[in-house]
Amino acid sequence: MADTFSKQKRSQIMSANRSSGNKSTEWRLRARLVNAGLSGWRVNVREIFGCPDFAFIRERVAVFVDGCFWHGCKRCRNRPATNRKFWVTKIERNKRRDKTVTRKLRKDGWAVIRFWEHQVRDIPLACIDKIQKKLISRPPNRKTH
């Protein structure tokens, strides 16, 4: 299906997408964290490599919510029909960066949890359960205070 917007308009629309604070993903997970009584997390911690969406500093648990479009979800597979080469390159670069961030954080002693946007939307309680289990399995790192 051809794009109904001009290249300029499509570029403007896509650049308006926020990389953090997305209501359909991060805000939804944030609300679930609060409802579950989980505390000790910070949002978009720039001092941590990869700037996780949520970071439990004491337990060294980093949580990322990957947008299905931007990170190439195989389940959702929503890729634009126009400018295909650009989007394939962009999404592949994002996926490589995700792997690099995960490897570096794990090397530095962090547990890394990644959720797809559709998981946060469709099975939020399973996401919270996974975070809770990871937090329980990791003793607090007292050196961070």
The tokens describing 92, both together, are 């592949």
The tokens describing 91, both together, are 């999404």
pLDDT tens, N- to C-terminus, the chain (145 residues)? 456 667 676 555 555 555 545 556 888 999 999 999 999 999 999 999 999 999 999 999 999 999 999 899 999 977 778 888 999 999 999 999 999 999 999 999 999 999 999 999 999 999 999 999 999 999 887 554 4
- Please report, for residues 32, 60, 119, 134, the alpha-carbon distance to residue 128 in angstroms, rounded to integers and kept in the order given: 7, 16, 11, 10
* Per-residue model confidence (pLDDT) at position 25: 80
| Domain annotation for the chain: domains and CATH numbers | 18-144 (3.40.960.10)
DSSP-derived pairing of the beta strands 41-43 and 54-56: antiparallel
* Per-residue model confidence (pLDDT) at position 73: 94
